[in-house]
A and B are shown apart, each in its own frame.
Chain A
Amino acid sequence: MPVRELVQDRYEKTQQVASVVDKYIIPPRYGHLAISGITAEESSVLVVSLGSANATAFGQEWAEEEYGADISWPGSANATAFGQEWAEGEYGVYIRRPGSANVTAFRQPGSGYPTTWYQIPNEVEVYTGYRVSIAEYERRFKGVDLDYFRKVLPPELFKAYVHTMGSIEGLGIKPEDRFKGKD
């Protein structure tokens, strides 16, 4: 699914989630896949963030009585942050009370409000058969006009272009133990 459609798809699903938790949201920033909004009249803040690592990833300070929601999915980096293993096909919305770092502050699936669950994809298909996670997509392709280059480049060259750009990540190699540098 092209990323614009994917974002729209997620936005629509998130709107459904927002209606469930009865708060307001503002449109997502394209490519960031995060949605946030403020309901000043209730002195509360709702942040619906797709794939954020933890509550602090909402990018703001939380005042008393403010609440946050996070949507997670199995295998994403934040899945363990909720203090549970996710079974295949489980997706959820969690409500968090700010100021509480304890993961138990998150509502567990099926434990009450909210109870509606939505399946949200966590991958982007850049070209047929080549899928990357949302995080990898952001790291490698954010701001690159892939729609334009998909049209103007020969298919095989476009694939090579996509495959090579940002391909050097280096994560997974931890030099701290081996690297004994001189200060």
Chain B
Amino acid sequence: MPITQKHGHKIGEEIRSPAYIDANFLVYYSVGSYLVPDLQTVARNVMGDLLAQGVSMLVSLVSVEEAWWATLEELFCRHIWQSPPTGEQCRLNRKKAHSNWAQLMLYRSEVEKIVENLQELRNHGADIRFVPEVGDAFEVCHNAPNLMEKHSLFSADALHLSLALSQAKTLITFDVGDFKTVADPDQDLTIMLLAL
């Protein structure tokens, strides 16, 4: 079965297990989005189906790192504007945020919930684990540059894809643009694109 791209998800629709969880999915599930609130609804319904179907969820440290960043940006954006900001306002905020990384850690307790939420779900029966396991890390890292070259991916996205290819049947993401160039008849993976 080749790499295929599937747009959207209906509640109750089968999700192939295991599923690799992209960073934006973690953010929309736990935090949401001021700019596009409908995305959080999608993520939360998909999470419900992942849990209901007993799908194994694979999370990587790359996803966590990106999710932390996005969460800090989102919270900063919320508090500066107190209402849904424009794209331009967000861009300016993020410029500030990037130059003041350490100060954003006043949101630390909130940011830590990204992983704590996963832990709570796992403690109550969800099948969630971190990848890669130690033995696979070298192989995953070795393959990522190949994917960057082959599919014109950024390094983080290449790591996401490499991890998914090594251990998952589904890659769940909201970033349609990140993986739009990915197609490979020799690899078995469904890329679930959840952008509206």
Contact = CB atoms under 8 A, between A and B. Distances in A.
Interface string A142-167: 11110011001110110111011111
Contact of A160 (B30, B44, B103, B126): B126
Nearest to B99: A182
B41 interface: yes
A40 interface: no
Interface residues of B, number: 43
A176 B29 contact: no
Contacts of B176: none
A167 B41 contact: no
A179 B102 CA distance: 10
B51 A153 contact: yes
A165 B125 contact: no
A164 B75 contact: no
Nearest to B30: A168
A166 B125 contact: no
Interface in A104-132: none
Contact of B117 (A144, A154, A164): A164
Interface residues of A, number: 36
Nearest to B78: A170
Interface string B19-44: 00000000001111000001011001
B1 interface: no
A18 to B, nearest CB: 30
A171 B80 CA distance: 11
Contacts of B32: 139-140, 166, 168
A168 B11 contact: no
- From DSSP, what is the main secondary structure of chain A's interface residues? loop
Nearest to B40: A166
Contact of A173 (B96, B107, B125): B107
B41 A157 contact: no
A64 interface: no
Given A142-B41, A144-B45, A174 B117 contact: no
B110 interface: yes
A180 interface: yes
A168 B88 CA distance: 24
Given A145-B11, A173-B106, A181-B96, A161 B47 contact: yes
Contacts of A157: 51, 121, 124-126
A165 B74 CA distance: 16
Interface of B: 11-12, 29-32, 38, 40-41, 44-45, 47-48, 51-52, 71, 74-76, 78-80, 92, 95-97, 99-100, 103-104, 106-107, 110-111, 113-114, 117, 120-121, 123-126
14 contacts: A148-B12, A153-B51, A156-B124, A161-B51, A164-B117, A165-B47, A166-B31, A170-B74, A170-B107, A174-B79, A175-B103, A179-B104, A181-B96, A183-B92
Interface of A: 139-145, 148-149, 152-154, 156-157, 159-161, 163-171, 173-176, 178-183
